[in-house]
Amino acid sequence: MELCEAVHLWQAEPGWLNTASYGLPPRPTVDAVRTALLEWQRGAGPWADWDASTGRARGAFARLVGAEPADVAVGAAVSQLLAPVAASLPAGANVVVPDIEFTSNLFPWLVQDLNVRTVPPHRLADAIDGRTAAVAFSVVQSATGEVAPVDDIVRAARAGGALVVADATQAVGWLPVDATRFDVMACAAYKWLMAPRGAAFCYVSPAVRDLIRPSAAGWYAGEEHAYYGPPLRLATSARRFDISPAWFSYVGAVPSLELLTDIGIERIRDHNVALADRFMAGLGLPAAGSAIVSVDRPDAAERLESAGIRAAVRDGRLRASFHLYTTEADVDAALNALT
Ligand SMILES: Cc1ncc(COP(=O)(O)O)c(C=O)c1O
């Protein structure tokens, strides 16, 4: 589908510059969730139909990140999917993480008996050495929109034998991402993938699958949905890390993910980054090359609120984010409010 046709699928009120907090669903997503809720209300929906959405969403996510569906696990949140990875490292192992990392990819390491060191994002690759057991980082930083130097980080990690764990929540959906470069890559779907909260994916490379204990396993992690009784019979694929899906979140994830694939991520990136660049230029700032930008504007909160612009403001810094339903008019309204 052409992007110019797709934009009619949203009914956003003008001024939503906050996809980095949550993405807005296109109409087919809202319709699919509404239908499922009504089926649920009437007791008319076989749960297997809702459940089938999980498989379709897994497949669509895999396509989006260049992975095999068998290498993708499902769950509800990034931290939940990363917890077994962190728990599988030996006590005292060295882990490096950017100091501004969103805590869903920091606390899972900190709660374990690990030696976690945080460094500024631009120093991450240099901080990896032969004693590093794992490096964990976001492909796009949540606070700043900074795109990680993935080549440098992966090269340093491979040279030292460190596990590479990426959080692609702020990247997949607008930035082309190849999950297979990482050992593990988690992604929450409620932002750039425009799904309801409660759907999250985790690529687990076949090379490291057996090194991670699926400590959250339940019936859904079993081969052929293992309902009752022993023995332990885990799926051989990454499904062994599955956590029973929040059905309606996955019902909603399918149309959103399929629409993204249909439009094409490169086109979405070009659209989003052009809007972000327009915003930066309007403020007299250099282009950042990201769909998320962060600028120092101590008075932004009141100015934007009075103009009906919704963006994130924290500690005097404004974080604005631009997705395929954002328009030039949204950007210009924000610039009018700020300048
Ligand atoms: C980079 C990043 N990862 C993950 C999340 C959400 O994490 P979780 O799914 O654990 O709630 C966010 C939310 O802002 C985020 O920005």
- Report yes or no on 32 lying in a domain: no
Do residues 249 and 285 both lie within one domain? no
Q: Whose CA is nearest to atom 9 of ligand 1?
A: 77
- 3-class secondary-structure state, position 12: coil
The predicted structure's pLDDT at residue 73:
98
Do residues 56 and 100 both lie within one domain? yes
In short, whether 104's Cβ falls inside 6 Å of ligand 1 is yes
CA distance 60 to 243: 18
Out of 240, 261, 282, a domain closes at 261
Report the CATH number at residue 322. 3.90.1150.10
Do residues 142 and 70 both lie within one domain? yes
All residues at 6 or more sequence positions from 89 whose CB lies less than 8 Å from its CB, including other chains = 95, 112, 114, 133, 134, 163
Taking the CA of residue 200 as reference, the ligand 1 atom at the shortest distance is 9
Residues 246, 241, 142, 333: what is their CA dihedral angle, to the nearest 10 degrees? Answer: -30
The predicted structure's pLDDT at residue 323:
98
pLDDT in tens, the chain (339 residues): 999 899 999 999 999 999 999 999 999 999 999 999 999 999 998 899 999 999 999 999 999 999 999 999 999 999 999 999 999 999 999 999 999 999 999 999 999 999 999 999 999 999 999 999 999 999 999 999 999 999 999 999 999 999 999 999 999 999 999 999 999 999 999 999 999 999 999 999 999 999 999 999 999 999 887 899 999 999 999 999 999 999 999 999 999 999 999 999 999 999 999 999 999 999 999 999 999 999 999 889 899 999 999 999 877 799 999 999 999 999 999 999 999
The predicted structure's pLDDT at residue 316:
76
Question: Does the pTM of the predicted model rise above 0.85?
Answer: yes
Taking the CA of residue 21 as reference, the ligand 1 atom at the shortest distance is 14
The predicted structure's pLDDT at residue 235:
97
In short, whether 102's Cβ falls inside 6 Å of ligand 1 is yes
Q: Whose CA is nearest to atom 11 of ligand 1?
A: 77
For the chain, the domain total comes to 2
Number of CB atoms found within 10 A of residue 3's CB: 13
The predicted structure's pLDDT at residue 46:
86
Taking the CA of residue 80 as reference, the ligand 1 atom at the shortest distance is 10
The predicted structure's pLDDT at residue 96:
98
The predicted structure's pLDDT at residue 234:
97
- Report yes or no on 253 lying in a domain: yes
Q: Find the DSSP H helices in the chain.
A: 3-6, 27-42, 47-64, 78-87, 107-110, 150-160, 206-209, 247-263, 265-282, 300-306, 328-338
Do residues 289 and 243 both lie within one domain? no
Out of 220, 244, 261, a domain closes at 261
Do residues 111 and 214 both lie within one domain? yes
Do residues 149 and 241 both lie within one domain? yes
Give the distance (Å) from ligand 1 centre to CA of residue 83.
Answer: 13
Domain region containing 328: 3-26+264-334
Do residues 82 and 93 both lie within one domain? yes
Do residues 198 and 123 both lie within one domain? yes
Give the distance (Å) from ligand 1 centre to CA of residue 201.
Answer: 12
CA distance 135 to 163: 6
- Report yes or no on 283 lying in a domain: yes
- Report yes or no on 7 lying in a domain: yes
In short, whether 188's Cβ falls inside 6 Å of ligand 1 is yes
Determine the residue type at 157: A
Give the distance (Å) from ligand 1 centre to CA of residue 190.
Answer: 9
- Report yes or no on 31 lying in a domain: no
Give the distance (Å) from ligand 1 centre to CA of residue 46.
Answer: 31
The predicted structure's pLDDT at residue 315:
73
Do residues 111 and 255 both lie within one domain? yes
Do residues 229 and 87 both lie within one domain? yes
Taking the CA of residue 79 as reference, the ligand 1 atom at the shortest distance is 10
- Report yes or no on 339 lying in a domain: no
Report the CATH number at residue 78. 3.40.640.10
